[in-house]
């Protein structure tokens, strides 16, 4: 049941990865599912930093230079200006700024991973953007909001 909806070729590939890693044969369903969602292309901190610096030289005009959705979402969360101006090469404080950035990268990776697991477990299969209005059953845009006459009088 846990593997329902998983393409057989994807499951076989994940099984081969586990075997090449020296894991036991007949892995549990959770081990197999973890191997399926493992992303070997996920950049390390240093790789992410190289990608961000390369894209920053182009003023962020070409987001394809970020090359990985996790890096792109990190840049979106941190902001181009902050990342571009962060003095990580400063001889006095650069190491501290680099450690802080590394911590932010690790928290971002963990958050992304937890969200991905939650999305997969819910059956959606992919990450969805948080939509608190939809969760509350409210309209998605301000133009759809209906304001009562009492609220309109208070607003004026």
Q: Per residue in 19-58, pLDDT tens?
A: 787 877 777 777 777 777 777 788 999 999 998 888 877 7
Q: Residue 105: pLDDT above 90?
A: yes
Which of 55-59, 80-84, 117-121 shows the lowest mean pLDDT across its residues?
117-121
Query: Where do the domains of the chain lie?
Result: 1-38, 41-130
Region of poorest pLDDT, from 36-45, 84-93, 106-115: 36-45
- CA 48-51-56 angle, 5° bins: 120
Q: Is residue 107 over pLDDT 90?
A: yes
Q: Report d(CA 126, CA 116) in Å as an integer.
A: 7
The mean pLDDT of 127-152, rounded to a whole number, is 50
Position with higher pLDDT, 36 vs 64 = 36
Burial 77-110 (b: 16+ CB within 10 A, else e): ebeeeebeebebeeeeeeeeebeebeebbeebbe
Higher-confidence residue of 79 and 7: namely 79
């Amino acid at each position: 049941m846990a593997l329902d909806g998983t393409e057989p070729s994807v499951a076989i590939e994940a099984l081969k990865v586990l075997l090449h890693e020296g894991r036991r044969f007949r892995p549990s369903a959770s081990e197999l599912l973890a191997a399926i969602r493992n992303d070997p292309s996920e950049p390390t901190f240093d790789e992410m930093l190289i990608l961000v610096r390369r894209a920053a030289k182009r003023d962020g005009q070409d987001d394809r230079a970020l090359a990985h959705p996790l890096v792109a979402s990190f840049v979106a969360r941190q902001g181009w200006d902050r990342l571009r101006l962060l003095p990580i090469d400063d001889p006095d404080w650069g190491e501290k700024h680099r450690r802080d950035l590394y911590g932010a990268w690790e928290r971002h990776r963990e958050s992304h991973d937890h969200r991905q697991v939650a999305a997969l477990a819910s059956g959606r299969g992919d990450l969805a953007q948080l939509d608190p209005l939809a969760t509350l059953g409210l309209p998605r845009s301000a133009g759809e909001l209906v304001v009562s006459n009492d609220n309109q009088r208070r607003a004026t």
